[in-house]
Copies of this chain bind each other. A is one copy, B any other.
Amino acid sequence: MVNYEHQLDRTFAALVDPTRRAILARLEREDGASVSELAKPFAIKLPAVMKHLDVLGEAGLITRSKTGRTVTVRLTPEPMRQAMSWLARYERFWSASLDRLAAYAEAKEAEAKKEGR
């Protein structure tokens, strides 16, 4: 439980900064990017980008692998899935409509099976 809470602390802290969120959003679109590619769109200097990558790495949101001189950064989505699960409890209305949709799909599936389609 302590580890779970501690991971949530680190995940949410990593997500507070818009530059870090932009880096994560880019890594969601591209499967791996080099540090210099990641740094390009930002008005901040490379060392500042590296610091953001350190925060993301320590929170377990990215992995970095080195091939020759190139460091490739990849997304690790699991902590964000956990953070999303934490937030999901507040989505009462949204979950209610999702539950209805799932129930509807299941009922229709059972019906279709019964009719042998």
Which residues of A does B touch, CB under 8 Å? 5, 8-9, 12-13, 15-18, 21, 24-25, 28, 75, 77, 80-81, 83-84, 86-92, 94, 98, 101-102, 104-105, 108-109, 112
Give A105 Cβ to nearest chain B Cβ, in Å.
4
Seed contacts A80-B90, A104-B108; 12 additional CB < 8 Å A-B pairs: A9-B17, A12-B15, A16-B16, A21-B86, A24-B90, A77-B92, A84-B91, A101-B101, A101-B102, A101-B105, A104-B105, A105-B105
Chain B residues near A92 (CB-CB < 8 A): 77
Contacts A9-B17, A12-B12, A15-B12; A91 near B101 (Cβ below 8 A): no
Copies in the complex: 2
Chain B residues with CB under 8 A of A28: 89-90
B75 touches A90 (CB 8 A): yes
A84–B89 contact, CB under 8 A? Answer: no
A62 to B: closest C-beta gap in Å: 12
Whether B21 pairs with A8 at a CB distance below 8 angstroms is yes
> Smallest Cβ distance from A44 to chain B, in angstroms?
15
> Whole-angstrom distance from the CB of A102 to the nearest CB of chain B?
6
